[in-house]
């Protein structure tokens, strides 16, 4: 998906998302495949977390106490599924608004019989604000968020000072916020905005970007970017 796709996509009535000032997404009408449709009917009870206002009891949801990684905007879930497969000792929570993508993730989770992944289909900013306890996350991943490249749309970028403060509060001491983007202008914005948060410390020794972490799975999205010659900027900030 490109940002222009995002902008030109047909939107469905925002019944699930009552009007708020500025959101980082437009809910695309994207067609659901037959398999994704089945996933929503049959697998949601296994992997899905119902919408609601109550704080999430993560140990109860996963049936154990383990380090928790949260991925915001996981797209079709490739990296979330790969991570949960590679790290059965950790728990993974994904938040995504695109329903076909959520269906795709549930199919991957079913195929690999993953026990350590759950998904919320809602605006991640609201979920973080209302449902995630402060100091409860070991890692928060924001990989290739919608870049909103046009200047008049920059206000829609999810990385804004209040969002970064919110993320920082949700991390436990020692927890890490990892970001990646293939838009240089967004990378610079991320570095300035996350770098200005006094609750977080840059993991880069020179205060800039970090090397591509081995832990970040290569997705089809990034592979396509590589073929097109796009650079990628990785960032990592720790809550001391």
Ligand X SMILES: C[S@@+](CC[C@H](N)C(=O)[O-])C[C@H]1O[C@@H](n2cnc3c(N)ncnc32)[C@H](O)[C@@H]1O
Which positions are catalytic?
Answer: 146
The yes or no reply on residue 95 touching ligand X (CB under 6 A) is yes
Residue nearest to ligand X (CB): 73
The alpha helices in 9-123, defined as continuous H runs, are: 34-38, 44-47, 58-62, 78-86, 99-111
Question: φ and ψ at 149, to 5 degrees?
Answer: -70, -25
Tell me the per-residue interface mask from 101 to 120 with ligand X, x by CB under 6 A, - otherwise. x-------------------
Scanning 66-74, 103-111, 209-217, 225-233 for contacts with ligand X by CB under 6 A, the matching segment is 66-74
The token duo for 194 is 């996350």
Q: Which helix (H) or strand (E) holds 164?
A: helix 161-170
Q: How many CB atoms lie within 10 A of CB 220?
A: 10
Q: With CB under 6 A as the rule, give the number of residues binding ligand X.
A: 22
Segment near ligand X (CB under 6 A); pick from 35-43, 92-100, 184-192, 208-216: 92-100
Query: Binding to ligand X by residue 219, rule CB under 6 A?
Result: yes
Residue 74 sits in the site that holds ligand X (CB under 6 A): yes
Q: Taking the complex as a whole, how short is the minimal distance between the CB of residue 129 and ligand X, in angstroms? A: 11
User: Is 182 a binder of ligand X (CB under 6 A)?
Assistant: no
Count of residues making up the chain: 240
C-alpha Rg value of the chain to the nearest Å: 17
List beta partners, residue 71. 94, 141
Nearest-5° angle of CA 75, CA 192, CA 214? 50
- Determine whether 236 is exposed, middle or buried from the number of CB atoms within 10 Å of its CB (0-12, 13-18, 19+): buried
100 part of the interface to ligand X, by CB under 6 A: no
Site for ligand X contains 123 (CB under 6 A): yes
Site string for ligand X, 137-176 (x = CB under 6 A): ------xxxx-----------x------------------
Examine residue 125 and tell whether it contacts ligand X (CB under 6 A). Answer: yes
- Residue 94 makes contact with ligand X by CB under 6 A: no
The helix or strand, by DSSP H or E, that contains position 202, with its residue range, turns out to be strand 201-202
How far apart (Å, rounded) are the C-alpha atoms in residues 78 and 208? Answer: 27
Q: Which stretch binds ligand X (CB under 6 A): 14-22, 40-48, 122-130, 208-216?
A: 122-130
Q: What are the residues binding ligand X (CB under 6 A)?
A: 1, 24-25, 72-75, 95-98, 101, 123-125, 143-146, 158, 219, 221
């Amino acid at each position: 998906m490109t940002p222009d796709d995002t902008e030109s996509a047909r939107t469905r009535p925002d019944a699930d998302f009552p009007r708020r000032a500025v959101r980082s997404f437009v809910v695309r009408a994207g067609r659901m495949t037959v398999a994704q449709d089945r996933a929503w009917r049959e697998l949601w009870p296994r992997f899905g977390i119902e919408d609601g206002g109550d704080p999430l009891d993560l140990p109860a949801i996963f049936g154990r106490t383990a380090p928790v990684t949260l991925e915001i905007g996981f797209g079709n879930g490739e990296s979330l599924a790969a991570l949960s497969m590679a790290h059965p000792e950790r728990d993974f929570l994904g938040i995504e608004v695109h329903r076909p993508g959520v269906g795709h993730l549930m199919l991957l989770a079913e195929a690999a019989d993953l026990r350590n992944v759950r998904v919320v289909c809602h605006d991640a900013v609201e979920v973080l604000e209302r449902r995630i306890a402060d100091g409860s996350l070991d890692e928060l991943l924001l990989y290739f968020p919608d870049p909103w490249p046009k200047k008049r749309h920059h206000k829609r970028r999810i990385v804004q000072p209040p969002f970064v403060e919110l993320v920082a509060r949700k991390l436990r001491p020692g927890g890490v916020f990892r970001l990646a983007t293939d838009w240089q202008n967004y990378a610079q914005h991320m570095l300035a905005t996350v770098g200005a948060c006094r609750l977080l410390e840059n993991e880069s020794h020179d205060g800039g970007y970090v090397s591509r972490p081995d832990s970040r799975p290569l997705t089809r999205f990034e592979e396509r970017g590589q073929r097109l010659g796009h650079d990628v900027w990785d960032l990592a900030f720790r809550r001391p």
